[in-house]
A and B are shown apart, each in its own frame.
Chain A
Amino acid sequence: METVYIDKHTDLVTECRNGSRKAQFEIYKLYATAMYNVALRIVNDDAEAEDVLQEAFLDAFNRIADFRQETTFGLWLKQIVINRSINYLRKRKMETVSVDEVDVADEQETDFEETHLKVEAIKSAMAELPDGYRVVLSLYLFEGYDHEEIAHILKITENTSRTQYMRAKRKLNSLLATKGVVR
């Protein structure tokens, strides 16, 4: 099943290379939701996430000749989305938060009964995080990059990435606690 899926993608990518609009739409349908969420988690704004998505897809389709199939198309596209999202943030002047600003609550054991509620709580808590925290957290937690890769993407040191992540997670947890999602 898995191999069939991958084959279908390479075919689609090849068709995209030849400029097939239908194949482009197929690719879009396959990746739009996931990529939209990648962008949304970073820029934290619906309209901007859509702008990022539009630019990223256009960029990907126009530069598809550069895609050498060293990685999967999805990973390649994700890199474009992340880079564009970060550019948007940079335009808004991304601030990395110093320790003093952060009010760290005591870690509380929270027990969520309903997954859905917890998902929503995490999403809204992430939206409240400062940009710098949210980006590192989202890249590590959701996109599965390690700190070395994050350091490369954000042009920070690996150590900064690590500490930013730790602080971000603490802040997120404290936000979740103050929200008192447990009900």
Chain B
Amino acid sequence: MNNKLEGFVRDNKKQFEVKGPSDALWGKIAAELDKKQPKQKTFGLYQWMSIAAMLILTVGVYFGYQYKKSATEILVADINPGLGKKEVRFTNLIEEKRDSLQVLANADPELYKQFIADMGKLDKDYQELKQQLQTSPNKALVGKAMMKNLEIQLQMISQQLYIINQVNQYKKEEKTI
């Protein structure tokens, strides 16, 4: 009996499979295939489009923000062109002197540290004034204060240069004696 069943099924398998699916099934499958194919293509295109849109958006927002920032940031030159020129001249001078101070101060790092700390305080004030300039109702006053600050920085650095020169001179003389 046991092997009879297996043998029977093996021999008559075709007879077990007379009935097939309904005729409408292929239509359903074909419709799904039709649906899927263009969908996949447009989905790919859609994806690319969305990536491109995202890129454009990010770049746009970034530059828009930058533009807005540069447009809204008020410079001293906006208030008074004369002051603006002054600011450029001062900062350049300060930068130059700072460099020479650094070279000269190699011999005396302790002193240089002190100088830099003092300059740092003044520079901090300057940055604060710059911030105030954005919101302050009296921009001319703040602008003038900024110039004053730069002037003091310049004077201070000049003095520091002078001092350090003297110190160096003194050290040299000491050596030669």
Contacts and interface: CB of A to CB of B under 8 A. Distances in A.
B6 to A, nearest CB: 6
B90 to A, nearest CB: 71
| Size category, A interface | 20 to 34
A108 B1 CA distance: 8
A58 B15 contact: no
Contacts of A119: 12, 15-16
Interface in A69-105: none
Given A169-B5, A173-B1, A116 B25 contact: no
Interface in A158-183: 169, 172-173
B1 A107 contact: yes
A36 interface: yes
A28 B26 contact: yes
A103 to B, nearest CB: 18
B124 interface: no
Contacts of A40: 19
A64 B2 CA distance: 40
Interface stretch (B30-38, B63-71, B149-157, B168-176): B30-38
Contacts of A141: 5-6, 9
B5 A54 contact: no
B5 A36 contact: no
B37 A19 contact: yes
Contact of B2 (A24, A123, A169): A169
A119 B13 CA distance: 9
A118 B16 CA distance: 10
Given A141-B5, A141-B9, A142-B9, A34 B17 contact: yes
Main secondary structure, interface of A, reads helix
A21 B15 CA distance: 30
Interface string B9-23: 100110111011110
A42 to B, nearest CB: 14
A64 B32 CA distance: 16
Contacts of A110: 1
B29 interface: yes
Contacts of B6: 141
Nearest to A169: B5
Interface of B: 1-2, 5-6, 8-9, 12-13, 15-17, 19-22, 25-26, 28-30, 32-33, 36-37
26 contacts: A24-B30, A25-B26, A28-B26, A28-B29, A36-B20, A37-B17, A37-B19, A40-B19, A49-B21, A50-B22, A50-B25, A54-B29, A58-B29, A58-B33, A61-B29, A61-B33, A116-B15, A118-B8, A118-B12, A119-B15, A122-B9, A141-B5, A142-B13, A142-B16, A169-B5, A173-B1
Sort A-B residue pairs by CB-CB distance and give the 6 closest, nearest first.
Answer: A33-B20, A37-B17, A36-B21, A119-B15, A57-B29, A50-B21
